[in-house]
Every structure is written in C-alpha cells, then in structure tokens.
Structure 1
C-alpha cells in the first residue's frame, strides 16, 4: 500500500509539473509577440 501511494504521489507530481510547464509555455508564447512589437 505504501509503495502504491508513493507511486501515485510521484505520478501526481509529474502531472502537476507538466501542467505547470504547459502554462509557462502558453504564457511565454502570449507574451513574446507583445515584447517583439
């Protein structure tokens, strides 16, 4: 059970990281054109 929870937690963290980075990239792509102008 403990191992299962540990794995689940790791998966959760990876998922959150992916979401975070996606948002970061979206933000960057939105901002960069404004800066270029």
Structure 2
C-alpha cells in the first residue's frame, strides 16, 4: 500500500534534517537560537 508514502517520506526528510542540525550543534557546542521572523 503506497497511499501514505509521500507523507512518510516528507516526515523522514524533515526529521533527518533536524537530526543533522542537532548533531552539528552538539559537535560545535552551540546553543539553539530560534530565528525570529521579521
């Protein structure tokens, strides 16, 4: 059943991106700074 595949693929991509960012933050020992939209 491939009905829900695109949604799952998008979710996996977002989680992977977030994980990559967090991993880089841990490596450089930086704190999270949320971007404030102007």
TM-score normalized with structure 2 length:
0.65
- Which of 1 and 2 has greater Rg? 1
The runs of at least 4 consecutive aligned structure 1 residues that moved more than 2 Å come to none
Q: Which residue, 3, 16, 20 being the options, matches 1:13? A: 16
TM-score normalized with structure 1 length:
0.67
Q: Which runs of 5+ in 1 are unaligned?
A: 28-37
Q: Which has the higher contact order (CA 8 A, sep 6+)?
A: 2
Q: Which runs of 5+ in 2 are unaligned?
A: 31-38
